[in-house]
Amino acid sequence: MKKVVINTNMAPAPIGPYNQAILTGNLLFISGQICIDPATGNLDNKDIQAETHRCMQNLRAILNAAGMNFSHVVKTTIFITDMKQFSEINEIYGQYFTGDFPARETVQVSALPKFVNVEISMVAEKES
């Protein structure tokens, strides 16, 4: 199966040896996104709401670069450092979907890259 690398300057450049996303067949696998502002390279982490919005905006940019949007998302994974922030993250996350929510898990971890509080990855399916 053919593997197509998806990268856009509208989302932050990878901070390690990986790509923003890989399209294989009709499936798009988006690497975990944190709250890096692609315009400045700085963290947008004044609070958990700002972090979550920036993650989702970065994910939207990658989806758009692949010709998709949030309606194509079939699975997400949310990594958080404090489960007490779950409801605030969940509230922001839910604003990006129009009721047809993807499958999801949310996992508390001890630390994330750049010591942010939330990281979100996605799998989306492009219509044939």
Residue labelled with tokens 């989302």:
11
Q: Which residues form the domain of 11?
A: 3-125
> How much is the pLDDT for 128?
67
Closest by alpha carbon to 117, among 46, 21, 39? 46
- Looking up residue 89, the CATH number of its domain turns out to be 3.30.1330.40
> How much is the pLDDT for 54?
98
Q: Quote the number of domains for the chain.
A: 1
52-93: pLDDT as tens digits: 999 999 999 999 999 999 999 999 999 999 999 999 999 999
How much is the mean pLDDT over the chain? 97
102-121: pLDDT as tens digits: 999 999 999 999 999 999 99
Q: At 70, list the tokens.
A: 């949030």
pLDDT at 1 over 80: no
If pLDDT is split at 50, 70 and 90, which confidence band does 99 have? Answer: confident
10-47: pLDDT as tens digits: 999 999 999 999 999 999 999 999 999 999 999 999 99
DSSP class per residue in 71-104: GGEEEEEEEES-GGGHHHHHHHHHTTS-S-PPEE
Percent of the chain with pLDDT over 70: 99
Maximum CA pair distance of the chain?
42
> How much is the pLDDT for 127?
83
The helix, strand and coil proportions of the chain, stated in percent and rounded to the nearest 5, come to 30, 30, 40
- The answer to whether 112 and 34 are in contact (CB under 8 A) is yes
